[in-house]
Amino acid sequence: MPLLKLQTSASLSEDKKKDLLLAASKILARVTGKPESYVMTVVENATICMAGKVGPAAFVDVRGIGGLNQKVNQQLSKEIGDLLKQELNIKPDNVYLNFTDVSAQNWGWNGSTFG
């Protein structure tokens, strides 16, 4: 159920995208306590203007059914920020994260919904 969608202006090879997908998936599963078998991660290239400058930046959209709260969101913000700094050299102040707790009836999968 947890979804992490990363949009970044950093230049990414296919191998780097795969590495980020896998690392983000593990972080999201561990921090939310959800099985990784339900986790989806997406990495997209984007052109981003942050603080009036076009350059290395990222937007991270995290959605899930339950499991998101102040403590979890702060931990995800830190760990995803650390990952982007380490792997893409994007400073944490050039990253916005958005967290959305979705009602189970509004999340579809496998021909049905979770609620």
The 10s digit of each residue's pLDDT in 8-20 is 999 999 999 999 9
79: left (phi over 0), alpha (psi -120 to 50) or beta: alpha
What whole-number percentage of the chain has pLDDT above 70?
A: 100
> What pLDDT, on a 0 to 100 scale, did the predictor assign at position 45?
94
Taking a C-beta distance cutoff of 8 angstroms, is the pair 10, 68 a contact?
no
Q: Supply the residues annotated as catalytic.
A: 2
Residue with tokens 């997406």: 42
Give the CATH fold of the 3-107 domain: Macrophage Migration Inhibitory Factor (3.30.429)
